[in-house]
Amino acid sequence: MRSSVIIFPGSNCDRDMDVALKKFGFKNQMVWHNDKSIPKSDLIVLPGGFSYGDYLRCGSIASKSKIIKSVIDFANSGGLVLGICNGFQILTETGLLNGILQQNKFLNFICSNVYVKVKDKQNKYFKDLKKDVLELHIAHNEGNYFCSNDELKSLEDNNQIAVTYCGEDGTENETTNPNGAIKNIAGIFNKNKNVLGMMPHPERMIDKYLSGADGSLFFKNILDNFN
Amino acid sequence: MKIKVIVTLKNGVLDPQGKAIQQTLKGMNFGNVEDVRQGKYFEIEVKEKDEKKAKSLVDDMCKKLLANLVIEDYKIV
């Protein structure tokens, strides 16, 4: 499976993502934001970080980059596009995903391990995933997912909510919501479920001795579904 | 020509920074403060002499970049 990771000025999880993808057998390439086209890929990843220093709104400047037109065309033709953290913010600013990531409710930068519940498995990312709750890592200041009531209803009706913050046992409530996101939302899909944006970083959970291994399940699952 | 734009959060959208400022003001004994909303202010120098045309150009900029209409309103002043 061929993948491309887009690098923006200020991306800082691009190399972690490269390491993770290669570890599980993706043929990964790094692509600069100023390029016009993307090499042939089965998966495009917009990595985490602080593109353009989070100026104006997180992800807003990156969403106007030269490369983004190719990303949108790829997504609209059904290609898999994964945005992690700042990548998720960029995807909402391009309009590929609904809503926006606002500043965390309690104004704090959050850097911690969290549990997320996989809400939908009818898609190429989570189909046949062995677990329902994953332990992943978050590190963000703007992860407080917000959308209008109509958009939320549409997300729910189409099963576009991908992952939600929860406890180790899968309980979802206010105490397991780190940032104030509506309905504990940690990640969503577009309507066709080929575009996934999420705040947690699976690429930081690929070694059971260093951090945790649930990110490994995520990447292996994408590969298994592709093959 | 200089065009000025104010971008604010829509009514009903949580503004944690505004809330923090409000609480701080209260703590400083500005007891009459009922609500604070924080926004952004832009001054845009446009190469255009016709005010109507300049404003219409900035309006387009607001829709496409300066404001995110999911949560923000803008006002050209």
- Residue range(s) defining the domain that contains residue B71: 2-76
User: For residues B20 and A46, what is the distance between their CA atoms, to the nearest angstrom?
Assistant: 32
Residue with tokens 């061929």: A2
Report CB contact under 8 Å: A103, B17: yes
Cβ–Cβ of B68/A57 closer than 8 Å?
yes
Chain A CA closest to residue B9: A102
What are the boundaries of each domain within chain A? Answer: 2-226
A interface mutation test: which of B9, B11, B38, B71 has the most A CBs within 10 A? B71
DSSP string of chain A, one letter each residue: -EEEEEE-TTB-SHHHHHHHHHHTT-EEEEEETT-S---S-SEEEE--B-GGGG-SSTTTTGGGSTTHHHHHHHHHTT-EEEEETHHHHHHHHHTSSSSEEEPPTTS--EEEEEEEEE---SSTTTTT-S-SEEEEEEEES--EEE--HHHHHHHHHTT-EEEEEE-TT---SGGG-SS--GGGEEEEE-TTS-EEEESSBGGG--BTTTTBSHHHHHHHHHHHHH-
ipTM comes to: 0.80
Please state the domain count of chain B: 1
Select from B16, B65, B66 the Cβ nearest to the Cβ of A103: B16
Tell me whether A143 touches chain B (CB under 8 Å): no
Contact A189, A127 (CB under 8 A): no
From first to last of its 227 residues, chain A has per-residue pLDDT tens of 999 999 999 999 999 999 999 999 999 999 999 998 999 999 999 999 999 999 999 999 999 999 999 999 999 999 999 999 999 999 999 999 999 999 999 989 999 999 999 999 999 999 999 999 999 999 999 999 999 999 999 999 999 999 999 999 999 999 999 999 999 999 999 999 999 999 999 999 999 998 899 999 999 999 999 98
Answer yes or no: do A100 and B68 touch at CB < 8 A: yes
CATH of the domain at B17: 3.30.1280.10
Q: What fold, for A2-226? A: Rossmann fold (3.40.50)
